[in-house]
Amino acid sequence: MRMGIQKEIDWSYVGALLANEGSDNQTAFFRGFIKECLSWGTRLQVEQQLGVVNLELTPEERKVLSMLGYDEP
């Protein structure tokens, strides 16, 4: 979904902006991201895409993101 955006997006810059936002905006971002991913059709498509992203991240980067999937026992 490009939403009519005509220019290329500097995703690294967008990520840096998001990192400096408050938790409300960061949560809204992830909720929007997840909602869009789930619109693709199947959960397997989402898992495959996120699996590819996971492979492209360094171990340290994956460690930083580990709290996003943390569930209390």
In a domain, 33, yes or no: yes
Residue 4: is its pLDDT beyond 70?
no
In a domain, 20, yes or no: yes
In a domain, 2, yes or no: no
- When the pLDDT of each residue in the chain is averaged and rounded to a whole number, the result is 92
In angstroms, the CA 51 to CA 48 distance is 5
In a domain, 4, yes or no: no
In angstroms, the CA 51 to CA 54 distance is 5
Residue 50: is its pLDDT beyond 60?
yes
In angstroms, the CA 32 to CA 24 distance is 12
Q: What is the pLDDT of residue 7?
A: 83
Q: Which domain holds residue 29?
A: 11-69
In this prediction, residue 2 has a pLDDT band, given cuts at 50, 70 and 90, of: low
Total domains in the chain come to: 1
Residue 62: is its pLDDT beyond 60?
yes
